[in-house]
A and B are shown apart, each in its own frame.
Chain A
Amino acid sequence: MDMSLWIQGFLSIMTPEVLIFNFAGVVIGIVIGALPGLSATMAIAILTPITFWFEPSCGFAMLIGVWNSAIFAGGISAVIINTPGTPASIASTFDGYQLFRQGKGGLALGINCIFSVAGGVVSTLFLIFLAFPIASFTVKFGPTEYFMLALFGLTMMISCSGNNVVKGMAMGFAGLMLSTVGVDPMLAVKRFTLDTTALVAGVSFLPVMIGMFGIGEVLNQIYEHKKSVEARELKLASSAAGNLGRILPSLKQLLGLVRPAAIASAESAVIGAIPAAGGDIASIICWGQAKKLSKHPEEYGKGSVEGFAVSCTANNGVLGGALTTMLTLGIPGDAVTAILIGSLMMYGMQPGPKMFTDNADFVVQIMQLMLLSNVAILIFGLITAKASAKILNARPETVWVAVCVLCAVGSYALNNSFSDVIIMGLAGIAGFFFKRGGYAPGPFILGLLLGGMLESNLRRALVLSQGSLMIFVERPVTLVLLILIVLTLFYPLIKKRFITKAK
């Protein structure tokens, strides 16, 4: 690693503009993460087109700040009202809410902040030390490897997103089909443009993402909204402010949590590097593992400080791993990194090994921004821990209106295109029906994002092999990925069959 690059990167982020944008991102992320129903994905999707108008370092400072803090802040509502603020905080509800009920809500909020930061920092170190070696390995990749990598990413998303693999596959292929709208990547022939100029550039995945995760989610929340449940949650939230107790854990408590948190950090960084495996999966796996290794497993699920600390560490611990996969391979590690790929492309950068040669300085800045965001979260999060519970007093109706307006503005601001707003609206309605029917939007979005990469590398590989499919088994990395893809898709079916036979 070139030290001058690190020094240069550090000096370029230590400017007032970058610091202000990062801090603003942290604050926005805390508000969004704490409110159930709003996710880091939604926030990043809406903000990305808006940050296009800023300098890349300022725009990314805000996005990285939002991402890290939204995941951390999901633990706030998990503790106060037993509802995860973001999907990654699902495991935090297992013990967080019980701690609140035992009068240790303040302690839970303090642990959420400290151990989310710990997980974030460890996974960022994972990114810093492993990204460059992985990038230099992937430079040797050819079209077959890239095709299989993209297919592996899509397969993982399908297998990780719901109980029905068939529905996931249908969504994945629908996304791939939609990605072919526009111009053929190799022959520059117009395809499925319906003779309109708006579709010549293809269907941009950001408006689709904003629609599905923004409008679609709002419509779903409106549908599921029950006044009685809202009244209970508001009552809980307003009574929380005076009943939280001390925030900081004692030194003895902290030292006792170091070992399980360290194990959870390492596990979650690796899980984060697997495409499509996000904070929700990592925190549940790490919580389960920590329970097996714990001296007091009976306390887990009943207000275990250790269990809660592990879940908080794990949900932020995936971020560095996801970013490693995104930067080195150009494959999104989770939904947010999928959007960040779009953001990098907006600035004219291509994630993948080339990032580490053509834009090495920006890669280093991203790594340093991750560390900076965690420092900001630690300071701001601890100072405002008790006050942050008041965010939950916001009525969901207020949030719904604001999100609808921001979705329209965000999708328009991307290309100053009204067609993108129409696409966003249609995606929102589709997203609502898909959510109701148990069709996960992840495979659809990823198919739309990776379709171009899949198609161009598949066709290049077939040109190289003169039409022979054997090229996909002759190269070792490609063969390994192919085996992983087959196992990922068929393992749940085989397991189900064995269990049925055993019964």
Chain B
Amino acid sequence: MERKSKGDIIVGLCFVVAGLAFLAGGVSLGISGKAAVPGPGPGFFPALCAVFSIFFGLWIAIEAVKKGSVDFFGTDPEQLSNGKLIAFVTAVFILFMALWYFLNFYVGVAALCLLYNFAFGRTWKFNLIFSAVILGLLYFIFERLLSVQFTI
């Protein structure tokens, strides 16, 4: 059975939802200015952009329903299997940020490098050397030379 892509419908609706949120916010901030302050209010520009975002979002979604959506991910089996790798890469990046926030930046970078190289099929030897070099360069260039502190 041919897989029907819904990518453009989802993206179009995302533009509509974002637009509605900004439109509601803009209206509550005030479209027109107060008597003491002439000119458009703080909500004017966000509301204006929101209207266009809703309009074009609906256009994209309706065209996708009528004519079909762009296939976001294709049908190549090798590419589709890379989707799992994408999910893993994203999860590791979130882990890196969590480790940085709760523990230490360098622990996060070490975990990121080790896990990424493992996922990309690099040898353990390369993995360890690469991670050590990256950590060393970051420490030397940023902390020692540029005095950038990675503490949160």
Contact = CB atoms under 8 A, between A and B. Distances in A.
Nearest to B88: A222
Nearest to A184: B42
Given A167-B60, A219-B86, A437 B15 contact: no
A432 B11 CA distance: 13
B97 A422 contact: yes
Interface string A427-461: 00100111011110000000000010011001110
Interface size class, chain B: 35 or more
A189 B29 contact: yes
Interface of B: 7-8, 11-12, 15, 18-19, 22, 25-26, 29, 37-46, 49-50, 52-53, 56-57, 59-60, 63, 70, 72-73, 76, 78-79, 82-83, 85-86, 89-90, 93-94, 96-97, 100-101, 109, 112-113, 116-117, 120-122, 130, 134, 138, 142, 146-150, 152
B29 A191 contact: yes
Interface size class, chain A: 35 or more
Contact of B19 (A177, A222, A436, A437): A177
Contact of B120 (A174, A400, A418): A400
Contacts of B70: 437-438
A191 B18 CA distance: 15
Nearest to B43: A191
A189 to B, nearest CB: 4
A384 interface: no
A397 B120 contact: yes
B29 to A, nearest CB: 6
6 contacts: A53-B148, A166-B56, A170-B56, A191-B46, A400-B116, A437-B72
B148 A226 contact: no
B49 A459 contact: no
Interface of A: 50, 53, 166-167, 169-170, 173-174, 176-177, 180, 184, 186-187, 189, 191-192, 215, 219, 222-227, 397-398, 400-402, 404-405, 408-409, 412-413, 416, 418, 421-422, 425, 429, 432-434, 436-439, 451, 454-455, 458-460, 462-463, 466-467
| Overall SS of chain A's interface | helix
B102 to A, nearest CB: 11
Among A166, A174, A184, A467, the most chain B Cβ lie within 10 Å of the Cβ of A174
Among A191, A227, A401, A434, the most chain B Cβ lie within 10 Å of the Cβ of A401
B11 A439 contact: yes
Contacts of B60: 166-167, 170
A437 B8 contact: yes
Contacts of B100: 418, 421
Given A50-B146, A436-B73, A170 B53 contact: yes
Nearest to B16: A170
A415 to B, nearest CB: 12
A387 B118 CA distance: 30
A154 to B, nearest CB: 11
